[in-house]
């Protein structure tokens, strides 16, 4: 393969995930996010899981790499709950 730019979706597609359906480990209060001007989450999530759709923050916990950057960077605490996924769930690095 020739080296090329890859989108976050393509990169996440290479990883192994065991998604805990119905149990998001990161909870947002979108009314707080709506009032947040900076929205650092859009930029700093390495997996680009925070996106804007029709002006509203959208978050997909399924591809989370569990790094904690959003938790550390969330300025106005729109992230009301951040925990690790329940045991065995989430990403499983094969290389790490």
Partner 1 sequence: MSADEKFDAIIIGAGPAGAACAYVLAREGKSVLMVERGVTAGSKNVTGGRLYTYAMEMVEPGLYKRAPLQRKVVREQIMMLGTKSAVTVDYADFEFGEDVPQSYTVLRAPFDEWFAAEAEAKGAMVATGILVDELLEENGKIVGIKAGEDEMYADVVIAADGVNSLIGQKTGLRSDITPHLVGVGVKEIIELPDDVIAARFNLSGDEGAARLALGCTEGTSGGMFFYTNKGSVSLGIVFNPEQAAKRGKKIQEILQDLKMHPAIAPLIEGGTTAEYGAHLVPEVGLSGMPKKLYRDGLVMVGDAAGFGINTGVIIRGIDLAIVSGLAAANAVIEADGAAAVGPLYEKQLEKLSLMPSMRLFAGWHNILEMPRMFSEYPALANDAMRFMFTVDGKVPARMDKAMLQIVRRHVTFGQLLADGWRGYRAL
Binding positions for partner 1, rule: CB under 8 A: 1-6, 8, 11-12, 14-15, 18, 38, 40, 42-48, 65-69, 71-73, 83-88, 90-96
First to last CA, the chain: 22
Residue 30 vs 86, nearer CB to partner 1: 86
Output the smallest distance, CB 75 to partner 1, in A: 9
The CB-side HSE value for 78 (13 A sphere, CA atoms) comes to: 23
Q: State in angstroms the smallest separation of the CB of 86 from partner 1.
A: 6
Q: How far apart are CA 10 and CA 27, in angstroms?
A: 25
DSSP helix/strand/coil, 35: helix
CB 51, min distance to partner 1, A: 11
Nearer to partner 1 (CB atom), residue 28 or residue 74: 74
Residue with smaller CB distance to partner 1, 30 or 77: 77
Cα separation values, 15 from 1, 9, 33, 95, Å: 18, 10, 29, 10
């Amino acid at each position: 393969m020739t080296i090329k730019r890859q989108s976050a979706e393509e990169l996440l597609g290479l990883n192994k995930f065991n998604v805990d359906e119905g149990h998001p480990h990161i909870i947002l209060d979108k009314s707080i996010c709506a009032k947040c001007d900076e929205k650092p989450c859009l930029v700093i999530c390495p997996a680009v899981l925070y996106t804007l759709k029709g002006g509203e923050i959208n978050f997909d916990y399924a591809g989370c790499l569990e790094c904690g950057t959003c938790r550390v960077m969330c300025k106005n605490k729109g992230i009301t709950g951040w925990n690790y996924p329940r045991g065995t769930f989430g990403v499983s690095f094969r290389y790490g």
